[in-house]
Amino acid sequence: MENKSIKARVVAVCSSAEKGTRKIPQNSARILKDCGLAGDAHAEIGTKRQASLLAVESIEEMKGLSSGNSMYSGGYNGKTQGIF
């Protein structure tokens, strides 16, 4: 059943200075035009993966498919809710 009361929002912003490492939740972030999230390893002009988002709804759906799912695991910069 769809919940119509949820509004679109960013739940978390995460970054990592090194590629291949877990992204850490940040209190705030600065997005650089045509580059990505300031301070993130993938923030480079011309790269295809400047920033990545993952929906809370997808995280909930994936729970149980693999062990060790936490709120901030994975390689995404933003966790969203209500954006489809």
pLDDT for 19 beyond 60: yes
Q: What is the pLDDT of residue 72?
A: 42
pLDDT digit string, tens, across residues 34-70 = 888 999 988 888 777 678 888 888 878 877 676 554 5
Other C-beta atoms lying within 10 Å of the C-beta of residue 23: 23
Instruction: Tokens for 77, please give them.
Output: 């910069």
HEC assignment per residue over 24-83: EEECCCCEECCCEECCCCCCCCCCCCCCCEEEHHHHHHHECCECCCCCCCCCCCEEEECC
Q: What is the pTM of this model?
A: 0.68
pLDDT of residue 34: 86
For the chain, the average pLDDT equals: 80
pLDDT band at 27 (very low <50, low <70, confident <90, very high): very high
